[in-house]
Structure 1
Amino acid sequence: MTDTARGGLFRPIVPNQHSRVTYAELFFDLVFVFAVTQISHTLLAHFTPLGALQVTLLFLAVWWVWVYTSWITNWLNPEKTPVRLLLFAMTLGGLVLSTSIPTAFDGRALWFAIAYAAMQVGKTVFLWASTLPSQSLARANAIRITSWLAMSAVFWIAGGLAEGPSRLVLWAIALAIEYISPAVRFWIPRYGASSVADWVVEGGHMAERCAGFIIIALGESIVVTGATFAELTWTTENVLAFVSAFAGCLAMWWIYFHKGAEAGSEQISKSSEPGRLARLAYTYLHMPIIAGIIVTAVADELVLKHPGGHSDLKTVISAIGGPLLFLFGTILFKHSFRGFLQLSHGVGIVALCVLAWFASELSPLALSILTTSIMIVVAVWESISLQSSSAE
């Protein structure tokens, strides 16, 4: 936010200095390891069109509450005791939210809705209360955000009280309100819309926060793979499925972190409009990346348990869909700061689409090996191409 004299509970602006991620923020992230696990297990247990739609809505809610908190802690200073206490309260709310995920469309719907609404509205009211009289732009933006989140909270609570399809509709409306609000710059009567220039964001901190969530998702994938493999009788097929799952996870790490994460952090730190880039690249475009990792983890568990025979529809969708979502997200993410579409990622997307045509004829193990091979080729190709271009 453009108030130059930031003080009170706000992070100090230090030119040419990166604001580090604090231990309080990392502690807050721990609950989202559990949340991601709950989402993947819920998808595995309800792998139907309706179940997938419900889990998608829950995933979008979890991501949105986390990324909004990252924006808040980009402005506020978690080293200050009141902000730290806010994060601890948010951690408790996140734990309630996460434990409610498996039955969010059943017995614990209202708990999920209350936890979510309280986290979203509570932290923005805190931001509003934290602004000093001299921080007119920061206060106006806090009022705008609070107004939009309070409106969506009505639909969250109403959905928690509703039954059947009405709950899904009401929660979809609530999410639509929240996802549209940044795109319209939180316009409200009297205050109007915020300017992109109003959103001063510490780019390195935002990039590091989102990279941390990628680690959370990849870590959950490793936990699922290891826990499933430990319970099985170790046959040749299971061992190969285990190696393929690990190699696929490693390829995803390489594609995101080898060049992309650091380049994105540098670009947003140098950008004249870091708020715009943070909104596009880190708020919106990271969603398919993380969703792809979660869906791939579901596929890995399915393949580990049933590596032989023909691949059923559930295995095909998750084994192909996970890497597709990941590559779709990463190619757009890297385009947002490189200005061109990475050829290796595009070829990987095409290869996965071609593989989908005959995937049902393959065994789950063969399908896993092929999708992993495609991801490895993408990772190696990008590394070589970027190394060659930098050497010229």
Structure 2
Amino acid sequence: MTTSTARWGMRTNVMRPSDRERGERVAFVELFFDLVFVFALTQISEVVAAVSSPLDGVRAAVLIAALWWLWMNTTWVTNWLDPARMPVRIAVVVLAFAGLVVSTSIQESGGERALAFALGYVGLQVVRSIFMVIATVRHDVGVAADFARIAAWFLVTGTMWIAGALAGGVALVVLWGAAVAVDYVVARTDYALPGLGRGTMEGWDVSAAHVAERASLFIIIALGESFLVTGFAFVEEESNPARIAALASAFLAAAGMWWLYFDHGEQQGEERVERSARSGAMARAAYAYAHVPIVAGIILTGVADKTVIAHPVEMSALAVVTILGGPALFLLGSAVFRRIVGAPGAGILLGSAAVVALLLPLALVMPAWALSLASTGVLLGTAAIDTALRRRRGEESRG
């Protein structure tokens, strides 16, 4: 921590305490913030389920990436600030309300609520970053400088979000996609600014336990959302053997993804980031980046389950893409995550993602519920092999 002589900013030090237990614990107000994303994920699922063209698909992908970036950047804030302090708690509650505004605009973000979504998204990103500068400038000038850079870049990409919302149509997708791409790329450069060089994010002394737990909670939220959409879809339809098989496949797929993430990889991620000399860089790669396909895979799988329950025999293009794309993305993202943190099993996950892709020809001869069971079988088989190899190495399960 580097103190400064700044005469402005928050006098009270609201940085997280150095005490290990308090400094790493996820606060209840952070869980309150997460509740907004339960609704946000249901809205994202509706957008994916309504995809009818490649342009719709790109917009859905942009929204998933943006939603994760919104949540992840808030996690960085609470990694530095103490949510038990009143100013921080109030700030998180305000951010949760802004997140609710964003969430209510997701379904119509390509139409009449595009500007509301863009303004809410940009406002949340910029205001949160400025709050971080105000909260830390007197107590850690390095962190304040880094978040000033982040705020500057969010102002740059914010113009693209707003311009896209005003333009609409293809321009909206192009500009929003470019804004998300810039956000992800400049983070990799530590938010370098012309003439000022790079920031110091790679050297951040992050709390590995806090970041890992926050990411884990989001995965649980995403899996829970898949149960919501699947359950609602099932109770709205007449029961028959095909739909019962689809419901069973949905549950087993969620269980398989949970097992693969929490039985082994999640613990390894926390431990490797904790030991890394460049914990900031590793945490960014493992959680900010590698978790995007993991979360997207869970969302697509949930949409697949809803689609198959509604139409268990019909094999639509959306059904094929989500039934196979969801598990494949999840496995691919999990493999990348494990590779980054040096955890074993990345090769097995990559191989399983390839096996899911090889199921594509079966879409020509199988009903949707059967293809769903086949892809779920790959997830369960991968979990079984991964667990057997872990036990052979003598490693204990954490989940």
Q: TM-score, normalised by structure 1?
A: 0.95
What is the CA distance between 1:9 and its match in structure 2?
Answer: 1.3
What is the rounded CA distance, in whole Å, between the counterparts of 1:177 and 1:66 in structure 2? 17
Deviations 1:137-163 (A, max 9, x none): 122112111111111111112222223
Matched AA of 1:87: V
Q: 1:150 to 1:216 in 2, by over 3 A?
A: same
Matches within 5 A, 1:15-34: 19-34=24-39
Secondary structure class of the residue paired with 1:102: coil
- The match for 2:197 among 183, 192, 197 is 192
- State the distance in 1 between where 2:128 and 2:275 align: 28
Aligned counterparts of 2:343 and 2:222: Cα–Cα separation in 1: 27
- The worse-fitting range, judged by mean Cα deviation, of 363-372 and 153-162 is 153-162
Equivalent residue, structure 1, for 2:168? 163
2:312 paired residue among 296, 307, 313: 307
Q: Which amino acid aligns with 1:220?
A: E
Report how far residue 372 of structure 1 moved. Answer: 0.8
**Structure 1 counterpart of 2:160, one-letter code:** F
Give the Cα separation in 1 of the matches to 2:354 and 2:195: 49
Q: What is the deviation of 1:16? A: 7.8
Deviations 1:318-376 (A, max 9, x none): 10000000000001101111265533313311211211123221111110111111100
Where structure 2 has 5 or more consecutive residues not aligned to the other structure, the ranges are 5-10
Partners of 1:278 and 1:322 lie apart in 2 by 24
Match of 1:121 in 2: 126
Whole-angstrom CA distance in 1 between matches of 2:196 and 2:167:
33
The yes-or-no answer on 1:330 pairing with 2:334 is yes
Query: Are the structure 2 counterparts of residues 16 and 274 from structure 1 closer, same or farther at C-alpha, using a change threshold of 3 Å?
Result: farther
User: How far off its partner does 1:17 sit?
Assistant: 7.0
* Partner of residue 284, structure 1: 289
Q: Kindly indicate whether the alpha-carbon contact (under 8 Å) linking 1:260 and 1:334 is maintained by their aligned counterparts in 2.
A: yes
AA of the residue aligned to 2:86: T
Report the AA paired with residue 376 of structure 1: L
More off after superposition, 263-272 vs 278-287: 263-272
Q: Out of 359, 382, 387, which is 1:383 matched to? A: 387
State whether residues 137 and 198 of structure 1, in contact with CA within 8 Å, keep that contact through their aligned partners in structure 2.
Answer: no
Match of 1:146 in 2: 151
Q: Secondary structure at the match of 1:11?
A: coil
Residue 356 of structure 1 corresponds to: 360
Q: Deviations over 1:216-254 (max 9, x none)?
A: 110010111111111121112111111111011100100
Indicate if the aligned counterparts of 1:316 and 1:360 stay in contact, CA closer than 8 A: no
Structure 1 counterpart of 2:33, which letter? F
Runs of 4+ in 1 over 4 A off after TM superposition: 4-7, 15-18
Counterparts of 2:212 and 2:23, CA distance in 1: 11
Match of 2:7 in 1: none
- Give the deviation of 1:166 after TM superposition: 1.8
1:74 aligns with 2:73: no
Q: Which amino acid aligns with 2:354?
A: V
1:10 maps to 15
> Structure 1 pair 253/372, CA: closer, same or farther in 2 (3 Å)?
same
Aligned to 2:235: 230
Query: Is residue 95 from structure 1 mapped to residue 100 from structure 2 by the alignment?
Result: yes
Which among 206, 210, 214 is matched to residue 211 of structure 2?
206
Q: 1:80 to 1:15 in 2, by over 3 A?
A: closer
Tell me if the contact between 2:55 and 2:170 (Cα under 8 Å) persists in the aligned partners. no
Deviation at 1:134, TM superposition (A): 4.8
User: For residues 54-65 of structure 1, what are the structure 2 equivalents within 5 Å?
Assistant: 54-65=59-70
Give the 3-state SS of the residue equivalent to 2:55 in structure 1. Answer: helix
Residue of structure 1 aligned with 2:374, choices 364, 370, 376:
370
Aligned partner of 1:3: which letter? T
CA distance in 1, matches of 2:20, 2:39: 36
The answer as to whether partners of 1:159 and 1:167 remain within 8 angstroms in 2 is yes
Q: Distance in 2 between matches of 1:151 and 1:3?
A: 28
Matches within 5 A, 1:235-274: 235-274=240-279
For residues 252 and 66 of structure 1, the distance between their equivalents in structure 2, rounded to whole angstroms, comes to 21
Cα offset, 1:135, TM superposition: 2.0
2:264 and 2:71 mapped to 1: Cα distance? 24
CA deviation vs aligned residue, 1:283-305 (integer Å, no higher than 9, x gap): 00000000000001111111111
Comparing 350-359 with 292-301, greater Cα deviation is found at 350-359
Whole-Å Cα distance in 1 between the matches of residues 168 and 236 of structure 2?
A: 38
The offset of 1:167, in angstroms, is 1.7
Q: Which amino acid aligns with 1:279?
A: R
RMSD: 1.9
Give the 3-state SS of the residue equivalent to 1:259 in structure 2.
helix
Q: Is 2:234–2:247's contact at 8 Å kept on the other side of the alignment?
A: yes
Q: Write the distance in 1 (CA, Å) between the matches of 2:233 and 2:106.
A: 21
Cα-to-partner distance string for 1:112-156 (whole Å, 9 max, x where unaligned): 011001100000000011124352212211211111111111111
Task: Select 2:186's aligned residue among 176, 181, 190.
Answer: 181
1:130 and 2:129 matched: no
Quote the offset at 1:198 in angstroms. 3.5
